[in-house]
Amino acid sequence: MAIFFQTIVAGLLKGGLYALIGIGMTLIMGVMGIINLAHGQMMMLAMYITFILNQVGLDPYLSLFVAMPSLFIIGVLIQKYFLNPLIKVETILPQNMVLMTVGIGMAMTEIVRFVFKSDYKYVKTSYSSSTFFLGGISFNVPLVIAFFIAVLFTIIMFWFLNRTDLGRSIRATAQDKDAATLMGVNTGRITVITMGLGAALVAAAGTLLAPVYYIFPDIGSPFTTKAFIITILGGLGSTVGAIFGGVTLGMAESLGATYLGMQYEDIVGLVIFIMVLLFLPGGFKRLTKV
């Protein structure tokens, strides 16, 4: 039984971070109507930023203040100069924006590989492997801290989306672009801000994961896949769904790793993904309606 609870705790902690990755992805999905297939690669960039700052002695949690704004700017530039110009050309299908994100993701990976080589880097902290015990269950300190910061960011995002004019404008643009324009929303600006926010959120996840993961150029693409799975689980464009999706994926991976073996960790997530597509198309959004 202790192992079961241990597994649940590990899954929940990981799920908190996955939720953060998923919220960014689902916001972009909602507003732009595209899947951002460079999402994990953006996270990878944030991990490298954290790594560089750690080399000069900055604590990873403090580097959030650098990584998030940096990725916000990168997201803004990508949307403004790479994706929005595609919308203006009528002969280009919107799906081609997705292809563009694939290309951007590849370019990011290869540029990082060129600069840092392919070898594993890691962020050294005094607490990377420290744990504490609560009722016989061990808690990995950096993951617990990461979880709480992730929850904090999620709460802030909810407040922002539901209580501010800019946040409401983002949701309005996702729900009806023309009606939002009629209400005075500059939807072009909203797409740029949304991509920036999505990038900043996934950057937070990357920085928070840095102390517990190896960092290498190809770490991006598995996380892009995870982000995609989370978004499908939750229902495209749904923020609440992204949290459900994130926690579900975290739990599934954790349970799979414990009861089926480490090598099956990713398979469980993919099986659930296919099940959801088959039996609950539309994801959790269908159940929660938000």
Least CB distance to another protein at residue 31 (A): 13
Work out whether 107 is an interface residue with another protein (CB under 8 A). no
Q: How far, in Å, CA of 101 to CA of 284, rounded?
A: 26
Report if residue 57 touches another protein, rule: CB under 8 A.
no
Of the candidate residues 185, 193, 199, 204, the single one contacting another protein (CB under 8 A) = 185
In three-state secondary structure terms, 4 is helix
User: In whole angstroms, what is the distance from residue 28 CA to residue 2 CA?
Assistant: 39
Exactly one of 84, 168, 266, 267 binds another protein (CB under 8 A); that residue is: 168
Binding test (CB under 8 A) with another protein, winner from 6, 84, 96, 181: 181
CA of residue 54 relative to chain centroid, distance: 22
Least distance CB 189 / another protein (angstroms)? 9
CB 48 within 8 A of CB 215: yes
**CB of residue 30 to another protein, shortest distance in Å:** 10
**Does residue number 165 form part of the binding site for another protein (CB under 8 A)?**
yes
288 binds another protein (CB under 8 A): no
- C-alpha count within 13 angstroms, C-beta hemisphere, residue 25: 37
Q: Using CA atoms, how far apart are residues 49 and 64, in angstroms rounded to an integer? A: 9
Q: Which of 10, 37, 49, 180 binds another protein (CB under 8 A)?
A: 180
Q: What is the CA radius of gyration of the chain?
A: 19
Considering the complex, state which of residue 119 and residue 178 has its C-beta at the smaller distance from another protein: 178
Q: 187 and 174 in contact (C-beta within 8 Å)?
A: no
Between 183 and 275, name the residue whose CB sits nearer to another protein.
183
Taking each helix axis as running N to C, give the angle between helix 187-209 and helix 2-32, from 0 to 180 degrees, rounded to the nearest 10.
160
Q: What is the DSSP string of 50-101?
A: HHHHHHTT--TTTTHHHHHHHHHHHHHHHIIIIIHHHHH-TTS-THHHHHHH
Q: Which of 155, 183, 260, 277 binds another protein (CB under 8 A)?
A: 183
Sole window of 12-20, 163-171, 224-232, 262-270 interacting with another protein (rule: CB under 8 A): 163-171
Nearer to another protein, 244 or 273 (CB): 244
By CB under 8 A, residue 179 contacts another protein: yes
For position 287 contacting another protein by CB under 8 A, the verdict is no
Cβ proximity to another protein, 176 vs 218, nearer residue:
176
Pairing relation of β-strands 131-134 and 137-140? Answer: antiparallel
- Where on the chain is the footprint of another protein (CB under 8 A)? 162, 165, 168-169, 171-172, 175-176, 178-187, 289-290
